[in-house]
Amino acid sequence: MSPVDAIFKALSDPTRRALLDSLRKRDGQTLTELEAGLGMTRFGVMKHLAVLEDANLVITRKAGRFKYHYLNAAPIQEVADRWIAPYAKPLARFAMDLKNVLEGPKPMRERPTFVLETFIKTTPEKLWEALTNPQTTSLYYFGTNLKSDLTPGGPFQYYKPDGTLMLDGEVIEVDPMKKIVSTFIPIWEEAEPTRVTFDIEPMGEVVKFTITHHDVDKTAKGVATGWSQIASSLKSLLETGVPITYPQSM
């Protein structure tokens, strides 16, 4: 079954759509929390979650004794970009809905509040180059150039073409070809510093690229939607040579 077929199969069931709606309203829920809102057996909920995980619409992360479930917007963004946007104008409305994925008050906790995974047909070397080369970031990261020497304690900043700073940050950890951890400080809106991790994991002919954002609810509005667009444009650039251009609202 193709990835697109898996997505539409997963979305065809009202219970699975209800699970996604629940995660869209409040991401990072346990099985017990998801079960409480459905009125069905734990085994039934687990079966539906397995279908959503197979379609990569739901991903999980463990923290302590608990496993938390997250809505993964990347596959839906890719379907919208490839099948909807060329024929109509609902993408703007679609993006407005996605921007609410993780907004809303949440208690401080160590576990991430936003996780996005996408699978790109490329190599770790090419993905790493795309993430760290300023000429390449300008193609998919809302036209901005990365400034960083990839040294812990050094800058991790994105600049607009006119030289003004759009996103400030500092390198926390670097593992070449595998991981970058940095702080995230938006300039366009007052917000607290948060933490972002880029993970690269080769998986045969593809590479799994994961964006993890801790305390995303404490940063600027619309960041969750922005990550979906960045990941989708990056995937298109590496697989087809052509990025997807989105309007920059920052």
Q: Please tell me the distance from the alpha carbon of residue 45 to that of residue 37, in angstroms, as a whole number.
A: 10
Tens-digit pLDDT profile for residues 128-152? 999 999 999 999 999 999 999 999 9
Q: CA distances (Å), 138 to each of 39, 132, 145, 162, 190, in order? A: 48, 11, 5, 12, 24
pTM over 0.75: no
Amino acid in the structure at residue 89: K
Between CA 215 and CA 219, with CA 217 as vertex, the angle to 5 degrees is 85
φ/ψ of 212, rounded to 5, equals -120, 125
Tens-digit pLDDT profile for residues 40-52? 888 899 999 999 9
Length of the chain equals 250
The b/e string for 20-57 (b: 16+ C-beta within 10 A; e otherwise) is bebbeeebbbebeebbeeeeeeeeebeebbebbeebbb
Q: Tell me, what's the pLDDT at 154?
A: 95
Tens-digit pLDDT profile for residues 43-81? 899 999 999 999 999 989 888 888 999 988 788 777 666
In order of their start, the domains of the chain are 1-70 (1.10.10.10), 72-250 (3.30.530.20)
